[in-house]
Copies of this chain bind each other. A is one copy, B any other.
């Protein structure tokens, strides 16, 4: 590699013997120049280690190659995993993804959208906070920036939604619990942050009724995103007061169940599907840690791959369509039951 540092495109054009507009064209889309030219450019690139100034590049372009990824809570490994997946697909497609976390805060979520605007992204993949989101701010944002919502839906907002079918989660868990033992009660937060929680509760009630059982929803107090702690405290209370009407507990999500299991353990209550167990516990999400709970958690898994894959594909279609799709689509993926030891 040559030692002389090349400081701009004109200089690189002259050392490579190709005109600047063609070089510019190449960097926008390498396949848009003739093969012979392309190989010459790439040879020169090997030699001279030049890279365009991204700020100058993006200044005039109406649309950048940036993609914003926004998740509500990155300290939750579930979102970290899905973000990783999405990120890599974007990179593979030649985009420049940037990851943001709202950290559970409405204000931060708004700030992020604000920053995102200045980034002039080609598109945004956005998992909103849910109940805490500022609908009007997000609605406005989605009008200006091509946005695909994922994980949790805000009805009517964004060009498309991709997520998991909450009904399918609950159908599988409830049906399994019923046929392998007894109908479950449903353990959840009183005021869940996420709209999926509401859909799961409704699904629980309707499935129980369809099967001819009385739904039994247990709501525990707690705000924010410290779900394990909320589950733990709620379970400690319920288990201390011995108010559980059922020996089968279906938690709205795995993180609550992690707390629930910790409480049960502390109380010396055996959880599992063996005959000598006092309680069965199941949940939804297949959180990365739910393999390592004690006992390991029976749960229902998202199709991570499918959700992230489809989200990204939908965004790409949206981008290629100039920011518009014919109509707002909602794609829900089926969930998959994961049998482990807890139920």
Using a CB–CB distance below 8 Å, which chain A residues touch chain B? 51, 53-59, 74-77, 80-81, 83-84, 96, 98-101, 103, 115, 118-120, 228-229, 232, 258-259, 261-262, 265-266, 288-289, 291-296, 341
Contacts and interface: CB of A to CB of B under 8 A. Distances in A.
Number of copies: 2
Contacts of A341: 266
Given A75-B81, A118-B51, A294-B294, A258 B289 contact: yes
Contact of A80 (B74, B100, B261, B296): B74
24 contacts: A51-B118, A54-B55, A54-B119, A55-B56, A55-B120, A59-B59, A74-B83, A74-B84, A75-B77, A75-B84, A76-B77, A77-B80, A84-B101, A84-B103, A99-B100, A228-B292, A261-B292, A262-B296, A265-B294, A265-B295, A266-B341, A289-B289, A293-B294, A294-B294
Contacts of A77: 75-77, 80
Contacts of A84: 74-75, 101, 103
Contacts of A232: 292
Given A55-B120, A261-B292, A266-B341, 11 more contacts: A55-B56, A56-B59, A74-B80, A98-B98, A229-B291, A232-B292, A262-B292, A262-B294, A265-B294, A266-B295, A294-B294
Given A74-B84, A84-B74, A262-B293, A99 B96 contact: no
